[in-house]
Amino acid sequence: MAEIQVVYIDILFLTNFIINCALILCTARLMSLHVPHGRAAAASALGGIYSVCMFFPSFSTLAWMGLKFVFAVSIVVAAFGFKNINRLLRCTAAYLAVNFLFGGAAFALYYFTPLGSKNTVIQSNGVFYLKLSLPILLLFCAVSYVLLNYALYIFKSRARIKDSVVDIRLSFGGKSCMLRALSDTGNMLKSPVEQKPVIICELSALSDMLDASDSAALSDECCGEPSFGVLFLPYTSLGAKEALIPAFFADEATYYINKGEVKDTKVLVAVSRDRISQDGSINALVNPSAFERGDREAEKT
């Protein structure tokens, strides 16, 4: 005689509510987005309700992949809102990817821990019911969350290395120039008042934007002054400690990232008389917070 499995709806809802909270927080981390606590709770509750419905035979049609995708999109909208279709698709893809990763972490814990030797899991239509006490359940989710966050950290670190070169267009006085910048968290220079990240670039890279006299004034070739205001910022490097580097405010900087662009105005540009890279492929340095901050501000508008 088959063993009768008992499922408590409140435990099933709470289990999937907690799991969905972890999934939404990890998705937000992966996409570098902020999710309010209220939205995270509402989206997690929606995921919990869907999980409860999946356990009832009368709701078996919800196992269809199309409706699963609709619920995934609904959870993403509840958590992150809707701004445009491209952002929605990216967030949904990230949420589904995090689901797969979380499932792998949970399976690893189940397989390599004593939980796997006990009849602690009931599955229906892809939804898992864990017959665990609340403390063990919270510990189970916490460990899975830590493992998933570590996987996301490795993924983002590798993605950051892959996408570490950023194209920047500087505009100043009606002229512009293109920079090939290395995204460098070690560049900690900031503007004195607004505390905005400073772009460090080679003097030769500004030749299309600056007049010859201004370029000469910024170099060691003469003692003249450029036609625009110049600041001297203190900085340290391997070759020179506690030195001063000249800088000026460009009218606008456009960062070309992820097949899109982020614009910022009144950007402080520090001029290096030395080469940034030996082979000349890189002629500028920029802290990634420069365009990440601009991307977040653009999403709010």
DSSP state string for 134-172? HHHHHHHHHHHHHHHHHHHHHHHHHHHHHT-EEEEEEEE
The crossing angle, in degrees rounded to 10, of helices 37-54 and 65-80 is 160
Average pLDDT for 180-191: 83
> Tokens at residue 232, please?
């001297």
Are 27 and 98 in contact by the 8 Å Cβ rule? The answer is yes
259 φψ region: left (φ > 0), alpha (ψ -120 to 50), beta (else): left
At residue 271, the pLDDT reads: 92
Say what percent of the chain tops pLDDT 70. Answer: 68
- CA-based R_g, the chain, Å: 26
Are 31 and 93 in contact by the 8 Å Cβ rule? The answer is no
At residue 178, the 3 state secondary structure works out as strand
> How close are the terminal C-alpha atoms of the chain, in Å?
62
Average pLDDT for 144-152: 70
pLDDT tens per residue across span 83-99: 888 888 988 888 888 88
Q: What is the largest CA-CA distance in the chain?
A: 97
On average, the pLDDT of the chain sits at 76
pLDDT tens per residue across span 193-231: 888 889 999 998 998 999 888 888 888 656 578 888 888
d(CA 161, CA 150): 17
At residue 2, the pLDDT reads: 45
Q: Which amino acid is at 169?
A: R
At residue 186, the pLDDT reads: 76
- The count of C-alpha atoms lying within 13 angstroms of the C-alpha of 132, restricted to the half-sphere facing its C-beta, is 21
Average pLDDT for 1-8: 54
